Chain A
Amino acid sequence: MKPIRILLAAAFAAVAALPAATVQAQNVQINGAGATFPYPIYSKWFAEYNKLHPEVEINYQSIGSGGGIRQLTNQTVFFGATDGPMTSDQQFQAPGPILHLPTVLGAVVPIYNIPGVNTQLKFTGKVLADIILGTINKWNDPAITALNPGVNLPATDVTVAHRSDGSGTTYIFVDYLSKVSPAFKSKVGVATSVNWPVGVGGKGNEGVAGLVKQTPGSIGYVELIYAKQNKIDYGSVQNMDGEWVSATLESVTAAADAASKAMPKDFRVSITNAPGKNAYPISSFTWLLFYESPKDKQRSKIMVDFVKWALTEGQKFASDLGYAPLPPEVVALEMEALKRIKV
C-alpha cells in the first residue's frame, strides 16, 4: 500500500505545481510573417533576443513580402516584414496606420557565365537594362565592349535568367533598372513579379544561379549574400557619380548614407541608384511593419524593446550573415520614430 500512496501524493504534487510554474514564466508569443530575404538575420535576432528574455518567443514565418503585408492587413499576425515598401493603396486597405522600420540592408548583383571570360565585367545601368530587355543580345555588342576594354567578349547570344517566383530581389533589381532606363520603366515596370520580355525563369536564388552556371552566355541576378556564400563572381555597376562599384557590405551601407540625409518621415524610401562616390547602386532596405496604434499593448511594448535592441546591439550580427548594417543616422531617426507606436 505504502508505495502506491507515495506515488499518488507525488502525482498530485506534480499536477498542483504545473499551473504555478506557467504563471511564473508568463510566456509571451508574438507572431510575424513576411519577407524571405531577411529571414536568416531575423531568426538570429529572435533567437538571441530569446536568450536575453526567455519569456518572449517571437515566431517568424518567411512566407514572402506579399503574404506578410496581406496577413498584417488582416491582422492575423502581429507584425509584418517586406522587401518593397507598402504602396499607398495597400496602406489604405489596412485598418490603421502602419509604420515602416528599416532593419538591415541588402543588395542585388548581376551574375554571368561567359565562356573564356574570367575578369569582373563592368556594367552601366543603361546597358544592364538593355540586356534584360533583349535589345542587347550578343555579348560582343559595342555597348558592352566599350565598357570593358581588353576583355575578349565572344559573339555568343545572351540568355537572360530571372526569378520566376515573386521576390523582393526582383523588386530591387527592376526598381534600379526602371530608374536608369525610361524604356525599362515603360516596358516592364516595378513589382515583385514582372512581365519579362525575354529569358528563362528559375525558382529562387538557387534556381537563377543554377541556370546561369549551366547556360553558357547567360546573365542573371541574385542577392549579394547568396553570391557571397556560394562564391559566385559578379559584375560591378556604375553608380550615379560615375564610379564603378562592386557590391560589398561597405558600399551597400554607403548607399544608405545618402538616403539618410533626406529620409522621408515614413521610411518608405528606395535607395537604388543612390548618390555618393562609394554607393553601390542596386541596394535596398528591408523593413519590419507595425501598426502605430496596436490593440495589444503588452506585445507592442515587447516589440518596441526588441526593435531598439535589434537596431543597436543586434546590428553586429548583420555582417556575419552577409547583410549590411544600417548607418547610425538612420538608426537615430528610427529611435525617434519608434515613439509613434502607442504603447
Chain B
Amino acid sequence: MSFSCVDVRARVPEYLDGALASAETRTFREHLFSCRECRDQVVSIEPSLLFARVSLEEVSAKDVERVLAGVKAGVALKQAERKLALGRSKRRRRVAAIASAAALAALTLVLPGSARRSDSRRPVRAAARSTAAPAPGFAPAAQTVPAGTFPADATIYDWNPGAGSQEPRVVWIVDRSLDI
C-alpha cells in the first residue's frame, strides 16, 4: 500500500481520530517520514505530528551486550539473595521452634511457683539449680526441675519473683549452648 501526497493530506483528520486501519496508519507515517513537504504541511495543522515516526535510535550490539551483562549480574545477585533468604528463614524457623519449646517448658515448670523473694531478680545458673542446692531466687522451679532438664550453661531470669500463685509470672531462659 502506498499513499500519494494528496492521500496523506486528505487523511490527516482520520489519522488524528485514530480512524485509520493499522496498515494505513503505518503507510501514513512512512510517507510523512520520507516526504518533507507533506510533513511541513501536516505539522502546520497538528504540530505534535512533528514527532510522529521519529527515526529509531539504533541500539548497537555493544549496548545489547551491556544490558545483557547487567541483567545476568542482577539475576545472579537475586538468586544469591533468594538462597540466603531461604537459609535464613529455615534457621529462623528452627530457632523459633526451640524458643517456643523452651518457653513452654518454663511456663509449665514455673507457673505453680508461689514463693516471694525480694532479691531474686538475678540470673540463675541452671547447673546450680539442677543440683541438690536450690538456686537463690528460683525456689519453686528448683523444686520441680529434675537434673539434666536444662543444659549446664543455661541462664534463667525471673522477672516477677514475688508473684503469688494467681499472679502472672514471666520467666526467660537463655540457653547459651544454642548456635543462633
A and B form one complex: no
Which residues of A approach B to under 8 Å, CB–CB? none
